[in-house]
Chains A and B, each alone.
Chain A
Amino acid sequence: MLSLLVENRYAVTASVLFAVGFLHVLLHPDLIKKVLAFNIMDSSVFLLLASRGMIAARTAAILTDGGADPSRYVNPIPAGLVLTGIVVSVSVSAFSLALIQRLYGAYGTTDMRKILEEMKKRGE
């Protein structure tokens, strides 16, 4: 059991981090913290993805003097997918931060519960 855990350490870490991020996006009342939690969640998926591309004793897929021998390089696909994922995650973070900035301007707080209370008080 323990050796299995150690062998799959990246996947297990990714799973735990994913759930931690998930819980905080659901539960944390502060919107900025939610953005952080969401980034943790995404990074955990990237960790899993990157670890799946790894193959022992091979190098990154940039063809140098060695020529195009597939048995010398690791899998390039996860690298590309992680890149896509990172760009998506950056865009969404930027969007949510802008949204939070506006909400702060309108209600003077980044705490979702207080925003809801304030909305109720104003009768919106």
Chain B
Amino acid sequence: MPFVRNLPYLCIFLCMLSAILLSLGPKAKFAYWTAVCVSAVCAAASLLFLVHIAKSDTAFAFTMGKFPAPFGNEIKGGPLQGLFATVFSLVMCLCLLGGKTELFEDVDEKKMGLACVMLCMVLASLLVLSYTNDIFTGYVFVEIGTVAACALVMLKDSGPTLAATVRYLFLSLLGSGMFLFGVVLLYALTGHLLMPQLTAAVAALAGDSAQRPLLALSLGLMTAGLGVKSAMFPFHRWLPDAHSSATTTSSAVLSGLVVKGYAVLLVLLYVRVFTLDTVRSLRVNDAVFILGFAGMILGSVRAIYETHIKRMLAWSTVAQLGYVFMGFGLGTAEGVAAACFQILIHAFAKPLLFVSAGRLSAVSGHEKQLSALRGSAWRAPLAGLGFGVGALSMVGIPLFGGFAAKTGLGLGALDGGMKVAAALGGLALSSVLNALYYLPALINLWSERPAEAARPARDRCCTLSVLLLAAGVLALGLCFKPVMDLIVRGLELL
């Protein structure tokens, strides 16, 4: 086996090892830069792996130990997993850079090491959720991700963040419970936990009409469990509080990455374990479609009424996750591919928006109300531009990534039978709704150039982060075709 195929496993272990070492209580700066370096190294290694695996056009199973499936744990590397891992680690690194100033203000100096432990663990959990080939490993790392994500919410140690954390934690626990119940039912039916064997067993059971209700129940419970954690309607109420009250880095990581990890595990379940044909015949995807549709509309409507910039962005996350679930709900390969693209583009665009908003509010005396941020873009023009790129991408203006995602979803919906009208109408309506809150906010930020001459202190890390994230949004929008081809190929090889 070529050495490059060890990279996914090495990335995972690097994250976990550095998390363990960071808990020794190092100096705040050292801990922060270690976390940045770890995520950057992971991004580089994952990119190397992605290039290798895309060139060789295969997927392979990597045994975690001496014993192959079905006896020992396994991870599986393919183009899609490599793509997710690269984007997740890169965005993690950029989120850390973008929120640096605020992170050092909000987190107690002595507790910075612990904060970085959580960030490394979140990255480890995201990587494992993309690569795993074992459903129970998936459960364990979903838990790690949940606990670490809750800790990220409460990094800014104040009453409201604690209350938001407790609500987030309890809803997540409901989700874990349902997911575990689903896993146990599936294990009782098939006797396996490794995905290759599960696939075969599920295919055999799907033909048996006596077992189909149980299969549907198990899949439904797992979908609901992961859905609660990634804020699927109607379990989205925790998200706006949790994501808006946290510090900038946490908000960006939570909104851009953490909720996506669970969605990626759902892709593995739908495409690899159950296969889309079975999912369609069990009719679980119809429920997901309806819930995704509802979330998409409701999130946007609620965002229109928000006057707090971070809450507006958080409600917009609910809406954007609605697109992802709608893509899953279509139950076709094109729909899932478009949902994967949406996951990627949102992983760039939402952190970009949060980092820009954090910078804009930092130069305006830490005000978060939109009314107080009037004209703030003139004080930090680059952050204003970054917010513009993110907002236009969310609305779905051509050349930006969001447009490509929406096009992909629309094209994917065309084979959807009954769902065509709903999907296309929903996309159109939701784009208009997105425009209704993003464009006014953008105009608000850029209007009324303030008179004062004093320029705020520079923030080089933030500048770099905004530039790279915006470049990512534009690159995904411009190179839509090759990325989409890679995703489609990755889904075939999954």
Contact = CB atoms under 8 A, between A and B. Distances in A.
Nearest to A38: B173
Contacts, number: 83
A25 to B, nearest CB: 6
B170 A96 contact: yes
Given A92-B147, A99-B169, A103-B162, A26 B140 contact: no
Contacts of B146: 92
B162 A106 contact: yes
A107 B180 CA distance: 34
A26 B237 CA distance: 12
Contacts of A52: 184, 187-188
A22 interface: yes
Contact of B163 (A21, A22, A81, A115): A115
Contact of B140 (A41, A48, A84, A115): A84
Given A92-B143, A96-B169, A18 B163 contact: no
Q: Which of A21, A41, A119 has the most CB of B within 10 A?
A: A41
A52 B189 CA distance: 10
* Chain B residues touching A, range: 20 to 34
B160 interface: yes
Contacts of A92: 143, 146-147, 169, 173, 176
Contacts of B187: 49, 52, 77-78, 81
B181 interface: yes
B121 to A, nearest CB: 12
A84 B166 contact: no
Contacts of A45: 177, 180-181, 184
Interface residues of A, number: 36
Given A99-B154, A99-B169, A102-B162, A21 B140 contact: no
B147 A95 contact: yes
A116 interface: yes
Contacts of A102: 162
A95 B170 contact: no
B150 interface: yes
A88 interface: yes
Contact of B159 (A48, A85, A96, A119): A119
B165 interface: yes
Interface in B172-200: 173-174, 176-177, 180-181, 184, 187-188, 193
Interface SS majority for chain B: helix
Interface string B144-173: 001100100010000110110111011001
B477 to A, nearest CB: 39
A96 B165 CA distance: 9
A31 interface: yes
A84 to B, nearest CB: 6
Interface in A50-102: 52, 77-78, 81, 84-85, 88, 91-92, 95-96, 99-100, 102
B136 interface: yes
Contacts of B174: 22, 25-26, 41
Given A99-B154, A99-B165, A106-B159, A38 B170 contact: yes
Contacts of B169: 92, 95-96, 99
B139 to A, nearest CB: 8
Contact of A99 (B140, B162, B181, B188): B162
Nearest to A31: B166
B324 to A, nearest CB: 25
B166 A22 contact: no
Given A38-B177, A41-B177, A42-B177, A112 B166 contact: yes
Contact of A48 (B173, B181, B193): B181
A44 to B, nearest CB: 8
Contacts of B188: 48, 52
Contacts of A106: 159, 162
Nearest to B188: A52
A22 to B, nearest CB: 6
Nearest to A103: B162
Contacts of B177: 18, 21-22, 38, 41-42, 45
24 contacts: A18-B181, A21-B177, A22-B174, A25-B173, A41-B174, A49-B187, A52-B188, A81-B187, A84-B136, A88-B176, A95-B169, A96-B166, A96-B169, A96-B170, A99-B165, A99-B169, A103-B163, A103-B166, A106-B162, A107-B159, A112-B167, A116-B163, A119-B159, A124-B159
Interface of A: 18, 21-22, 25-26, 31, 34, 38, 41-42, 45, 48-49, 52, 77-78, 81, 84-85, 88, 91-92, 95-96, 99-100, 102-103, 106-107, 112, 115-116, 119, 122, 124
The 8 closest A-B pairs by CB, nearest first: A106-B159, A41-B177, A52-B188, A124-B160, A88-B143, A49-B184, A38-B173, A45-B180
Given A25-B170, A48-B181, A48-B184, 17 more contacts: A18-B177, A22-B174, A31-B166, A38-B170, A38-B173, A41-B173, A42-B180, A81-B136, A84-B140, A91-B147, A92-B147, A92-B169, A92-B173, A95-B169, A103-B163, A106-B159, A106-B162
